[in-house]
Structure formats: structure tokens, C-alpha cells
Structure 1
Amino acid sequence: MSAEEKQNSQTYQGSNSIEHPENEKDVSEYIRRFYKSGISLELIGSGSKRKIGKPLQCEKILNLSKLSGIIEYLPTELYIKVRACTPINQIEEELKKNKQQLVFEPIDFGYLFLGKSDYGTAAGHVACNISGPRRFKVGSVRDHVIGFRGVNGKGEIIKSGGNVVKNVTGYDLCKLICGSYGTLAALTEITFKVLPSPNESETLVVLNLNLDSAADLLAKALSSSNDVSGAVFLPNEPQSNDYVANVEEIFSLNDLKHASSYTAIRIEGPKNSVDERIQNIISELNVKNNDNSILKTYQSEIFWKKVKNLEIFSSAKNNVARIVLPPSYCTQLLHHLEPSKFRYYVDWGGALIWLEICELTEKIFEDIRKKVVQCGGHISMIKLSDYLPYVEEVFTVNKNLYNISQNIKKSFDPKKILNPGKMYTGI
């Protein structure tokens, strides 16, 4: 590749294009300087989620990785305050010492993009607002961020929330920052709400169900009084060389029988309660005579860790989409898409579909997006293969919400210098 071609590449980084601020004051000074000059900035931490959203071609890169470390952790007050680029696995290891956790179950996207673990940073998870299997019970990332500090597109230091769970100000900027993909502010500090880890976790796995039977079973489980915290359907893998068949290998657990499909329901809490609720749900779902497995705590935790970390896509070179929709439309959408042509699994009891697409053209993508919108949902292209030439918008665009997003962007970043176009064209 010639020097000119490198400079025109979307991933080109000149020797003077990357800045490494060491603290919040540095971040403010850099952004204020670039705001005055109208220089566009790409914000990155560890880069673990850099490929989500549109590829950027900015004049400068602001690498915030030096803003790392735990500032304050008070287990009895149920919060932890960290610098923005503190590794998530460092936070989780600290919480484990007091049997606490981030209950939104941070996803390790390293398996999807690199084929190995790369959890990323606190800021990356807040910026994307993508949560794990417990989402339908405990809420998303944004429901567990109780405070932050950051720098807006004018170089002004902003803050919201604090160290308490209750917010009485009426202005909850945390909700705006979460899921903004770095288009509103450069985060410098984040305060998370933390909660106790469950004593026990057991998973009922019903084997060899088809899509419709599994969806019906998950719906009944979620509407029961057994306080389900995980509900996933892993279907039979497509018989095609375009997809890597690896479910049997990934979910190779001593107490899990091999099957064409897995419908898994998780129960968490005190041991006696978990044992009782597992038996209740077996009885209520009438699956006592079905071919099933029960995973105790150790194997249950391994199973759900692999589910949340998208490990079945760890060898995928194809496009991967994330579809969120009302659970009642899940089977309708999948039948329309002809699931035998795709690789997918269903999470959140039917409200989330992870979809691997081998041959994705603009026409196919628009057809999928149109059907998703008709079902009251939205689609995000999380991973785009290198051979896909162009997708106009990788996130679902709603005209009214787009206009609102534009106004919010103007308030935080009037010159649109922070991650411009990362989410939507013009934002």
C-alpha cells in the first residue's frame, strides 16, 4: 500500500494523530483546542468495541487508556467509582472479593472480533449499553450507572449523579450518555451500582425443542413466579459450510447431554430456594418426561458466561446483527427470515436475537430491517465482514428519534467533532 493510500484509509493513523491525555484536565484541554479548530476526534479506550458502528476517519484520535484505576469502592454502600478506562475484568475481580457483581453481565466482545477474550473498559460498556442475559430482569447498563464525569464537545467538564442510587434531580444525564457511542462526551469517571452475587445458580436445559416449542416454553417460564434470570434458545446449527458448527464443542459440559437444540432457563438465589424453584418450574412447564439436563452452580455459570460472550460466533467471519423486539414477534420474524439460512440464537426469553448472516447485501439488510421495524423492534449491525462494501446505516433510524438525537448532539457537541457519524449520518 502506497503512502497516499495509507493516508486515505479509514484506519490510517499518522505519527502525530494520536493523543494520550493522562487525566481529566488534559482531556478537557485537548477537546477545547480541537473544538476551536474544528478538528474531528475519534475517542478510544482499549479499542475492544471499535468495530461496532460505522468506521471513522477522523483527523485525531484521543486515546483515553491512561484514565484507568479504581477511585473508590464501598461495598456496604453498594457502589464503585472508577476512571473511565478501567478494565472491566479488574472491576469484577475487585467486586468478587466481597461477593458482589455488576448484575448487567458485561459482554466480552473479544470472542466475536478476535476469537479470544478482550473485555474492554468501563467506558466502552457504558458507551455501547449492551447487556447480558439478565437484562430482562435487572435492566440494562444504563440502569446501573449512577454517576459520571466527562468532557463534552466544547471541552467543558460535565458531571451527573453521584454515589447514591436514588436520583432526585430530575436531570439524569447518565441515561443519555449510555448508548451514545462516544458521540456526546469523553467519559473520565463512572460510578456503578453493584449488588450481591447469588449464592447458587442452577439451569434447567430442555433438549431437542424446535423454535416454536422453545419460544412457548420460555414465555411460560418468564410469566411464572419462579424469578427466572436467564432464558435462552440455542437452535440446531445450519447445515452449511458458510457457518462454523461449534455449539457441541463450546457447550461441552459434564452434565449437559448433546442435543440438536438447547432451551435453557436459569434460576439464582439461596440454595434451598433455587432447588425448590427448579422443581417448581419443571412441574409447571410439564417437562419432567422430556429429555433435559440440570446444571448446578459451577457448570451453570460456565454455560451462561459462554452465552453472554457470544462464543458461538468466536470463529465467525460473517456479519453479525443484534435484533431487539417484543418477544411475541420473535418466532414470526425468524420464520419470515427462514432460519435455516442463518445462524442465530434467541436470548431474553425471545426479546433478543443474535443473527449471523453469511451473504449480506444492501437489499437483504433492508429487507431484514424493514421486517424488524414492522415487528416493533430495531436492528444493529454489530459486526460487518470486510467484504461488505457499504451499509448506509448500521443502526435502525427512526425519523422522530433521529431529530431528537440531533438536538441532543448540538447541545453536547455543537461542531460534531466527537466520533462524528459513528451512530448515524450527521450525528
Structure 2
Amino acid sequence: MTETLRPETLEQLRDAVAWAVAEEQPLEIVARGTKRGLGRPVQASHTLDTSALSGITLYEPEELVMSARAGTPLAEIEAALAEKNQQLAFEPGDWGPLLGQPAKAGSIAGIFACNIAGPRRLKSGAARDHVLGFHGVSGRGEIYKAGGRVVKNVTGYDLPKLFCSSHGTLTVASELTFKVLPAPEKTYSVLVLGLDGDAATRAMALAMTSPHEVASAAHLPADVAGDSAVSYLREAGASVTAIRVEGPGPSVEHRCRELRALLESLGPTEELHTHNSKTLWRELADVAPFAARPGLQLWRISVAPMAGAGVAAAIHTAVPGAVHYLDWQGGLVWLGVPPAPDAHADAVRAAVAASGGGHATLIRAAGDVRAAIDVFQPQEAGLAAISRRVKAAFDPRGVLNPGRLYPGV
């Protein structure tokens, strides 16, 4: 009989995992459940729901640090930070609508466990670069903590970074501590219209290597730009290459002028000011273009920045009906493909390999598809052996989200 365990304290969380270990009963680990569709389907007899472990437990704006229990909604954290004009600089997206779940319902533990970062990753790093420490329960049923409240406390094995991207397969977190940063005074975007993928890649590289402190760079083909809530993009009737600049008002205005002068030889330019600019980059962080296309299977492809446009073009040739856009200066390809039993995995991975290497993750597809193919990039034998040893060290009985990443991991 399937049962949902919903602990309200760290001790109850430990008891739940200890029971699962003793009875050898695998657990599906969820906080608020908005990311259950990520990774391979978990075959578990019971669900361990940490949503009752909720609430901000520490916020010191002057020290740029916050702690929150695992089930705390990301929306609650962002609201508290906004009151102090601060932010999570790695810009985590709200992927609920992308995965068929409600908006603004995801948890802070899910963000770190899946290492989700938005377009500002180019400047600020990934989620794992902002976590300082956590409390949790291992797959041995043991309470432990890792890291601390400041960077200098993080000595020895950097277990907080190992927790990130583990998708709940190593530890059930009960509380996390992380860095926060001041929000920028102004956020503008320089737009270059009508570039193809190769020209957009050159434009983004030119902007990123300039002295103008670019925070993000993305390229939206015309069919994706036309779906934006920002009228400048929606009515452009052409592709849009967007360059984001943040900081004090006079500095942002100066840098935008310089960037427009730098890029104007490539195509017509436009400029978004703070409201429209924030809307655009929030759409990209939330992967809104594909939340609006629920019928497509979705891949997230990471390659060298100069290779992204070529990878997308190769897949378009092999898979008619594919839709894409580029983020992270072209190093991140969000790719939607028409439904297929294998999600066109061979074409996707062949294009990545031909580009010189990278990795492709199937973000959205039906459960039977995710069970049948490699959702994450297949690992070489040596790396796969390390992954199995790490899993065995933290979860020797294999009770935490078994098989979420790879069979047996």
C-alpha cells in the first residue's frame, strides 16, 4: 500500500528515512512536487513529502545570508528579498508551468537539488555557487550538516555543492543556507534585430568580451520572439538578440550607448528599459516560450558558447518541426521537438558530439519516454563508477529517489 510520509521536524524526517532503510522501502522525495517530472521516473513504494518543513529561519540582509527550511516556497523567499531590495543572483526560474504544475509553487530545496539557474548564470554562477550549507538526513537515516553560514566555514569536502544536482538521490535536506545579493538599480537590454544564429553568436561574443560588464546574452529566433509579452519583441517580426546590462542608472545608460554603437553594424538595434527588460529575462528564466508549447518534448543542451547555433541548426535538419532559442551567450540551447518514443535522442546527442562535446538533458517528456532512454547525458565508465560509489556512500540501501538520475543511481 502506497503511503505519503509528511514529517514536520528534522527528527521526524530522520525517523521516516530510518524506517525506509530498515524496511528497505524506496522513497520518492518531494518538497512541493513541481519538479517530479524531471529526471527518470522513480519506482518507489512511498512518498516522503517535506513541504511541512517550511519557513525562513534566518535572514541577515547586512550579511547577505538567508536560511530557509526545505519546503519553503521560492516565491516566499523572493518576496522577502524584494522588501530589502535583494535577490537570488543566480536567477532561479519558476519551472512549474513548464512541467504542467502551478506557477509560484516550487520550493527552495527543489531549486538547489536540481541546480536551476537562469540567464544571469553567465555573470553570477549556478545555484551551487550560492549555497553555503544545509541540514539533512542521509540515506543511512542519519542527521548531519554540511557547510555553514559564511564562505570561510565551508572547509573539507564541499558537500553542499554535491547536494546540488543530486535530485534528491543522496540526502533529504531539511534546511538550506545560501548567499543573497543586492538587486541592481537599473536593468536595461540592448536588442539587435534580424540576425541568424551564426551572426547572433558573433554579436553575443562581441558584447561579452567588451568592457561593458554584460550580465546576460540570449538569441530568440523570430517564432519564439513573437510569443513574448514584451511588445518590442512580439512586434519585431524578426529574430531578437538580447544583451542585458545592470547596475547604477548612469552606468547602465552609458554602457547601453556603447553597446549599441558596438553592435549597430550587425543590424538594427533597440533598447529595453527596466520594466520590459525584467519581463524578458524572467520569461527566459522560466523557459516561458516552451511553457506555452506543452505539446513539445523539451531538451536542455549545454555546449561551448560558439557551438550552440550550429547544434541547433543540425538538429533542425534532422528533426522537422523543432523549435529553439539560445541562452548563456549561445552555450545553452533550449530545444523543443515533436513527440517521439525516443524524443529524437539520437539526433540530439549526435549533434552535441559533433560540436566537440557537451551534454543534453531531456527536461520534459512523458514518463514512459523518460523511463526508456537516458534522460541525462550518458556517463563514461569511470564517471559512472564514481557516481555509484558516491550513491553507495550516502544511500547504501538505495532508498532515496532510486533511479532518478541513472539506473541504480
Give TM class, smaller chain. over 0.9
- Partner of residue 274, structure 2: 297
Point out the more displaced range, 178-187 or 357-366: 357-366
The residue aligned with 1:240 is none
Aligned partners of 1:128 and 1:319: how far apart in 2?
19
- For the residue of structure 1 that corresponds to 2:117, the secondary structure is coil
Indicate the percent of aligned positions where both proteins have the same amino acid.
37
Match of 1:232 in 2: 218
Match of 1:309 among 275, 278, 286: 286
1:70 to 33, 56, 65: 56
1:145 equivalenced with 2:134 (yes/no) = no
Q: Does the aligned pair in 1 maintain the 2:322–2:337 contact within 8 Å?
A: yes
| Aligned equivalent of 1:278 | 256
Deviation of the 1:168 alpha carbon: 5.0
Any conservation in 1 of the 2:195–2:267 contact (CA below 8 Å)?
Answer: no
Greater displacement, 194-203 / 395-404: 395-404
Rounded to whole Å, the distance in 2 between the matches of 1:334 and 1:78 is 39
Post-superposition offset of 1:386: 6.2
Query: Hey, what's the Cα distance between the residues in 1 that align with 2:312 and 2:153?
Result: 40
> Could you list the per-position Cα deviations for residues 10-59 of structure 1 after superposition, in whole angstroms to 9, with x for gaps in the alignment?
xxxx5x51111011100101111110111100001111111001111201
Aligned residues: CA RMSD: 1.9
1:82 aligns with one of 60, 64, 68: 68
1:425 partnered with 2:407: yes
Q: Is 1:154 aligned to 2:140, yes or no?
A: yes
Matched position secondary structure for 2:231: coil
- 1:122-142 CA-to-partner distances (Å, cap 9, x unmatched) read 000011002100011111000
1:402 equivalent in alignment to 2:402: no
CA distance in 1, matches of 2:383, 2:370: 27
**In 1, Cα distance between the equivalents of 2:308 and 2:69?**
39
Structure 2 residue 238 is the aligned partner of structure 1 residue 260? yes
SS in 2 for 1:55: coil
Aligned residue in 2 for 1:393:
374
- Give the CA deviation at 1:248: 2.4
> One-letter code of the match for 2:335?
L
3-state SS, counterpart of residue 104 of structure 1: coil
SS in 1 for 2:226: helix
2:78 pairs with 64, 89, 92, which one? 92
Report the Cα distance in structure 2 between the residues aligned to 1:197 and 1:203, rounded to whole angstroms: 16
Structure 1 pair 27–317 and aligned structure 2 pair: CA distance change class (3 A): same
In structure 2, the CA distance between the partners of 1:390 and 1:179, relative to structure 1 (3 Å rule), is closer
Decide whether aligned partners of structure 1 residues 292 and 259 sit closer, same or farther in structure 2, where only a CA change above 3 A counts: farther
Q: Is the 8 A contact 2:226 2:234 kept in 1?
A: no
- Aligned counterpart, 2:190: 204
For the 8 Å contact 1:79–1:193, the answer to whether it is kept is: yes
Corresponding residue for residue 243 of structure 1: none
2:9 is aligned to: 23
Which of 328, 334, 352 pairs up with 1:372?
A: 352
Mark the CA change 1:276 to 1:343 in structure 2 (over 3 Å): closer, same or farther: same
Partners of 2:32 and 2:51 within 8 A in 1: yes
TM-score (norm 2): 0.94
> Given the superposition, is the C-alpha separation of residues 22 and 179 from structure 1 closer, same or farther in structure 2, using an over 3 Å criterion?
same
Judge conservation of contact 1:19–1:61 (CA < 8 Å) in 2.
Answer: yes
Instruction: Look up the SS of the partner of 1:341 in the other structure.
Output: coil
- Which stretches in structure 2 are left out of the alignment for 5+ residues? none
| Alpha-carbon distance, 1:176 to partner | 0.4
Using the TM superposition, give the Cα deviation of residue 361 of structure 1 relative to its aligned residue in structure 2, in angstroms: 4.0
1:49-68 → structure 2 map (5 Å cutoff)? 49-68=35-54
For the Cα contact (< 8 Å) 1:333–1:372, is it kept in 2?
yes
Partners of 2:263 and 2:105 in 1: how far apart? 36
Match for residue 362 of structure 1?
342
- In the alignment, what sits opposite 2:27? 41
Matches within 5 A, 1:331-346: 331-338=309-316, 341-346=321-326
Counterpart amino acid of 1:90? E
Q: Is 1:128 the counterpart of 2:114 in the alignment?
A: yes
